[in-house]
Every structure is written in C-alpha cells, then in structure tokens.
C-alpha cells in the first residue's frame, strides 16, 4: 500500500469512527454497558437524533458534581431504560436514556427520581464500571446505588422519590447482573446515611436524619405545617378538664398522650406509638442518644423532638418550630 493510500485509509477510518460514535447517527456500537434495570441491549444503541429536556438535566448534574467538562456524551436512545456505556472503537463514554422511560419515572414519581437514576449511571462512569468486565456486575450495581444515595443528599434531592425510582423501576428479584430490589434499597440508604453523617449541618439534625434518613423532607417543620390541614392544638382554647377526662376513658394509666399537628397520638409503656383511635403501631418513642438529652418521637412519616413537654420539628438550618404538646393530667 502506498503512502497516499495509507493516508486515505487512515482518514477513512477516522471518518467512520466519527460517524458511528456520533449521537446524531442512527446506531452507535458499544462494547460494554451498565443499565439501571437489567435492560438488555444487543450490539449498539439507536439514537433518536434530537435533544430532550433530560440532556439539560444531565449537564446540570455534571456541573453540580464539579464535572462541567466531563467527556461523557449524553443522548436519548430508542432502547428503554438508562445506560452507562463505552465505545472502544472511538474511545468515548456515553450516558444514554430513553425519553419515554424518564417520562414514566417523572409521571409516577417526580423529576427528582429521574435525577437519582441519572446519578446511578454517572456513578457507573466515575467508577469506570463499563471497563471492568471481569468484576461481579452485582457489586458494581451496589456501588452505583450507594453513589446515587450519597449524592442525592449532597444535592438536596427528594429521597422519597429516589426510593420510588428503585421500587417502581427495578427488578423485585436479583438477576445475573443486578441485585434484588430490597438489597438495592439498602445500598441507596447506606449512601444517603453516610452523606448525612459527613455533611448534616448540626449534630441535632444529624441525629434526626440518621434516624429518619429515608424521609428527610418530612422533618422540615415549615413544610409539614403547611401540608397539615389543622394547626397544633392549643390547650387553652378547650375545656382541659373535660378533655383529659375523655382521654382517660380511651387510654390506661401507663400511656402518654401527645398532640402533634392536631393528631392525638398515644405512647404505651414500651414506647410504641399509635393514633388514639387505632391499635396499629405508627412509630416509636426513642430515648436520649447521640449525646443529646432530648427524646425523639419517631413516626413512620416524620421525626420530632420532645423537650419540656413541648414537641418541635427541626428545619435544615437548625431552627425549631413548635408542632405539638405532651398532654398530662
């Protein structure tokens, strides 16, 4: 082959590589990928050829993570799901997703759930998982779930919807490549919890978030008060003697009654919590721990501080808001 022929052939290969690896082309061949929900792709990805709103969201996440110029190409594809992939031919990394898939996630949960999934795929790339073909893929999925949980807290995302993403869009049972849903939820929780330990703004809030790290937004005092249809009971606005006489008929001497945002809640001698008119346990009274002298009223949906017979919710800036009382004879 002559020198000019070799040069022409080299230019031809470069052109073909550019074409096959461009997100504007119909199909991109990939040698390895990781998917969010065990989606299987044969050979390559078919790009849709246009930008979506999710492209912008991915770029915003890159910026928030301190990766404004990261060499990961982003694009929507026909294949259903979300993927972290590599093309060895062109030495490029891709973050691909299906627009209908993300539309379903947003509709059934929220945009924060989409971002949690994107953090999972970004985690795959930052840990170079697609290049590590001899590593247990389940272990890599656990690492990516941990990563998404950790940065969900760091970026202020709604972890309730992160939980929804895992519960609604992952496999219930384990597969060859992915752990089962419960195990993935635990890894997401572990990542979030670790971020709380490292970055919660004050020790008291740190304690509550560790206890209730899965539902952080529910302990924001102002948000909880706005969502509530009633305000905390004011004992001076009712006939206290008649009120307490009525309550005494509904509970025994070993039980304590609390009023929280209008809900009457009973604690028995074991610290189990239930609504006044129900036998179903809804939470636990937790004694002083983590170096704080206050008891914690930990309900299924929120956590509160009990101090001097007053009940408080804690804002993320550490400020308190009174949301209820301990009712005593």
pLDDT digit string (tens) for 21-55?
A: 544 455 777 778 898 988 888 778 888 989 999 99
Across 124-150, b (16+ Cβ under 10 Å) vs e yields bbbbebbeeeeeebbebbbbbbbbbbb
pLDDT digit string (tens) for 296-328?
A: 888 876 778 888 888 887 765 566 777 788 875
In this prediction, residue 109 carries a pLDDT of: 85
In DSSP terms, which residues pair with 296 in a beta bridge?
A: 286, 305
Distances from the Cα of 317 to the Cα of 205, 206, 242, 303, angstroms: 9, 11, 39, 16
CA–CA separation, 213 vs 157, rounded Å?
12
CA 271 to mean position of chain CA atoms = 29
Indicate whether this model's pTM tops 0.85.
no
202 pLDDT above the threshold of 90: no
CA–CA separation, 79 vs 97, rounded Å?
8
* Tokens describing residue 297: 């009223």
234 pLDDT above the threshold of 50: no
In this prediction, residue 300 carries a pLDDT of: 74
* Domain boundaries, given as residue ranges, for the chain: 17-199, 220-327
* Tokens describing residue 233: 């009971």
82 touches 98 (CB < 8 A): yes
223: three-class secondary structure by DSSP:
helix
pLDDT digit string (tens) for 60-104?
A: 999 998 888 888 999 999 999 999 998 877 778 999 999 999 999
Radius of gyration of the chain from its Cα atoms, rounded to whole angstroms = 26
């Amino acid at each position: 082959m002559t020198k000019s022929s070799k040069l022409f052939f080299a230019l031809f290969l470069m052109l073909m590589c550019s074409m096959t690896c461009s997100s504007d082309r119909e199909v991109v061949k990939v040698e390895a990928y990781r998917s969010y929900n065990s989606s299987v792709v044969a050979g390559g990805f078919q790009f849709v050829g246009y930008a979506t709103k999710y492209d912008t969201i991915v770029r915003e996440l890159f910026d928030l993570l301190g990766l404004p110029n990261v060499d990961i190409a982003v694009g929507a594809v026909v294949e259903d799901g979300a993927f972290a992939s590599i093309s060895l031919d062109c030495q490029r990394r891709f973050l691909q997703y299906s627009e209908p898939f993300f539309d379903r996630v947003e509709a059934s949960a929220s945009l924060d759930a989409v971002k949690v999934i994107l953090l999972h795929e970004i985690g795959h790339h930052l840990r170079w998982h697609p290049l590590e073909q001899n590593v247990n893929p389940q272990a890599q999925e656990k690492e990516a779930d941990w990563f998404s949980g950790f940065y969900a807290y760091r970026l202020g995302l709604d972890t309730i919807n992160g939980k929804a993403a895992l519960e609604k869009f992952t496999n219930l049972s384990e597969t060859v490549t992915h752990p089962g849903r419960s195990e993935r939820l635990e890894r997401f929780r572990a990542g979030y919890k670790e971020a709380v330990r490292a970055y919660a703004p004050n020790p008291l809030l740190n304690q509550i978030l560790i206890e209730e790290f899965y539902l952080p937004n529910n302990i924001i005092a102002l948000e909880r008060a706005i969502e509530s249809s009633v305000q905390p009971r004011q004992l001076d606005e009712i006939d206290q003697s008649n009120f307490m006489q009525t309550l005494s008929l509904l509970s025994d001497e070993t039980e304590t009654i609390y009023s929280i945002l209008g809900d009457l809640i009973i604690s028995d001698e074991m610290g189990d919590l239930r609504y006044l008119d129900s036998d179903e346990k809804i939470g636990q009274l937790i004694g002083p721990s983590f170096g704080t002298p206050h008891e914690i009223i930990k309900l299924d949906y929120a956590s509160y501080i009990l101090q001097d017979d007053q009940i408080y919710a804690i804002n993320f800036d550490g400020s308190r808001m009174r949301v209820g009382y301990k009712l005593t004879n």
